[in-house]
Amino acid sequence: MKITRLTAIGLIAATVSVAGFAGCGGSDSSSASSAADTTAAAPEMTEAEFVAAATKVCTDVKAFAKDAEASIDGTSLESLQAFAASVADKSTAAMAELRAITPPAAMADAYQTYLDAQAAVVDNGVAQSADVQVSTSIDDLVAKTSTASTADDALNTAADKAAVAAGLPECGDE
């Protein structure tokens, strides 16, 4: 089966959940509170500071993914695998950055809901990225990733809604 560059990019984008900002990591609801427990209390961020910090992380990931996508050779398995790995690595770092941001108390529950939803996207993307990494041909890659879009869509929709509810629309829909 011969696929076009656009089709391959679409499959990989879905595979690593670029639209929802993929990465790795699981839900770790205690990470923000445990950091606060072991250090001196910093002044609480304002809502504007929090939104700016989280939005910067999300827009950086989206810009990185867009740039990486532009460099893909959709006819090269190695190029597609490198793209999936690079987006997963960047998203891993971004997820850690998001978890390190402590929101204002009034936004903490909504932000944790967003982090949990995003972690589901990330976990799914990492599993699919692993499939991409072990693909032996583009046909194999297509077979391994073509059934993932329904699950991806549901997870991304939940994360998008949680981002908006947390006051972070830039972390949701592109």
User: Is residue 121 assigned to a domain?
Assistant: yes
- pTM (global) more than 0.95: no
User: Is residue 83 assigned to a domain?
Assistant: yes
Measured distance CA(66)–CA(72) in Å, rounded = 10
Domain that holds residue 68: 45-171
Per-range mean pLDDT, top range of 30-39, 96-105, 143-152, 165-174: 96-105
The residue among 107 and 35 whose pLDDT is bigger is 107
- Report, as an integer, the average pLDDT of 75-101: 88
Structural domain count, the chain: 1
Measured distance CA(115)–CA(71) in Å, rounded = 29
Closest listed residue to residue 17, CA positions, set 169, 114, 106, 129: 129
Query: Sorting pLDDT into bands at 50, 70 and 90, what band is 51?
Result: very high
User: Is residue 157 assigned to a domain?
Assistant: yes
Confidence at residue 33, expressed as pLDDT on a 0 to 100 scale: 41
Contacts of 137 (CB under 8 A, 6+ apart): 77
- Report, as an integer, the average pLDDT of 168-174: 82
